[in-house]
Structure 1
Amino acid sequence: MGVGCLLTGVAGFVGSHLAERLLALGHWVIGVDDLSTGKPSNMDTFRSHPHFVFHERSVIEPGLVQDLAELHPGMQILFHLAAVVSVPYSVTHPQETMAVNHQGTLRLLSDAGRRGLRVFVFAGSAAEYGTDCRLPLREDYADAATQHLSPYGKSKYLASCAVASSQAPLGIALRFFNIYGPRQDPSSQYSAVISRFVEMAYRQIPLSIFGDGQQTRDFIYVADAVDAYLHAAGLHGKNSPNPIAAGICNVATGVPTSILELANLIRELTDNRRDPAFSAERPGDIRHSVASIERLCTESGWMPRVSLRDGLLQTLTWVQSS
Structure 2
Amino acid sequence: MSFLNGTKLTPASFILNGIPGLEEVHLWISFPLCTMYSIAISGNFGLMYLIYSEEALHRPMYIFLALLSFTDVLMCTSTLPNTLCILWFNRKEIDFKACLAQMFFVHTFTGMESGVLMLMALDRYVAICYPLRYATILTNSVIAKAGLLTFLRGVMLVIPFTFLTKHLPYCRGNVIPHTYCDHMSVAKISCGNVKINAIYGLMVALLIGGFDILCITISYTMILRAVVSLSSADARQKTFSTCTAHICAIVITYVPAFFTFFTHRFGGHTIPPHIHIIMANLYLLMPPTMNPIVYGVKTKQIRESVIRFLLKGKSNSSHSI
Give the TM-score normalised by the residue count of structure 2: 0.26
Max Rg structure: 2
Higher RCO (C-alpha 8 Å, min separation 6): 2
Richer in strand (by share): 1
Higher helix share: 2
State the TM-score, normalized to the length of structure 1.
0.26
